[in-house]
Amino acid sequence: MTPEVFMLCVLAALLELDTTYAFQLTFSRGIIAAPLLSLVTGDVMAGLQVGVFTELIFADVSPLGGILPPSAVVCSAVTLALHALGIELYFAFFFGVLGAILFSVAERYMRKNRFKWLVYWETQILKKPGVVLRAVFFSLATSFVMNFALIFIFTWVCGKGMLWLLPHIPTQAHFACRFAYMAVPWIGLATLVPAFRLKAR
């Protein structure tokens, strides 16, 4: 695991906070986050492509109500980190999408269980209202640590596994994954048309 991959995971964990917990200024969008993350690895064109593909593949899942869409930051970070380790983009993107799906499962679990310590903070806030600032900081800090741990561990496991597997992967698998990767923007663009359908005024 190179220092740049480590830095990328730290930056990704920070950007991931923008998705829900802080700001929501769309730094966590694929087209913003991936080029930013690629500045760490140095391959900005890969960052741009991964950003566009990530945003398009997740374009049909919006955070409406309590729905938790897969994280574009996690997908971009895992893809770019694996690519920086020498794995082709079309393989890396597959793991990026898997990582984003697994991250949303983990995030759902965290949200379910966060209430347990929130009960403690609520009683503290009622005793001393100023504690709310500490509760917010604690919440942000734990989210950052969890984000980093999940992104780093997943990238590390996939990176190790893929680097070991790569010499044994047959040409057919390269060909198949390239084709599937080529299809990503078209899958995304095609779903944008019905997404804009005019139901009623």
Partner 1 sequence: MRFAMRLNLFFRSFFLQTGWNYMKYQNLGLTFVMLPFLKETYQNDRDALPSVLQRYLEIFNTQPVMASFCFGALARQEEAIAKAESLTKFKEKVTEWSSIKKGLSITTASIGDRLFWGALKPLTLLIALFIWLMLGVNFFEINLPASVPLVYVFFAGGVAFFVFNAIALFVKWQGIKISYNADEKSCFGLTRFDWNKTIYNAKRIGLVLAVGMILFGLYHYLKDFSELDVHFVTRAVIVLFFVMISFVTRKLRIPNMYLYLAAVVVFNLVCYL
- Rounded CA-CA distance 84/189 in Å is 27
For the bound state, the minimum distance from the C-beta of residue 153 to partner 1, rounded and expressed in Å, comes to: 21
Let me know if 110 is exposed, middle or buried by CB neighbors in 10 A (0-12, 13-18, 19+).
Answer: middle
Closest distance to partner 1 from the beta carbon of 118 (Å): 6
In the complex, the smallest distance separating the C-beta of residue 1 from partner 1, rounded to whole angstroms, is: 25
- Nearest CB to partner 1, comparing residues 66 and 167: 66
Residue 23 CB: number of other CB atoms within 10 A?
A: 11
Among residue numbers 63 through 122, which ones bind partner 1 (CB under 8 A)? 63-66, 70, 89-90, 94, 97-98, 100-101, 111-112, 114-115, 118, 121-122
Question: Using the 8-state DSSP alphabet, how is residue 190 labeled?
Answer: H
If residue 44 lies in a helix (H) or strand (E), which one and from where to where? Answer: helix 44-57
Q: How many residues does the chain have?
A: 201
Give whichever of 4 and 43 is closer to partner 1, judged by the CB atom.
Answer: 43
Candidates 6, 7, 139, 146; binder of partner 1 (CB under 8 A) is 139
C-alpha separations of 195 from 23, 58, 61, 63, 149 in Å: 26, 12, 10, 14, 34
CB of 173 to partner 1, least distance (A): 6
The stretches of 86-170 forming alpha helices (DSSP H) are: 89-127, 131-165
Beta carbon nearer to partner 1, 159 or 188: 188
Q: Please tell me the count of residues contacting partner 1 according to CB under 8 A.
A: 86
With CB under 8 A as the contact rule, the residue among 3, 164, 168, 201 that binds partner 1 is: 201
176 binds partner 1 (CB under 8 A): yes
Site string for partner 1, 179-198 (x = CB under 8 A): xxxxxxxxxxxxxxxxxxxx
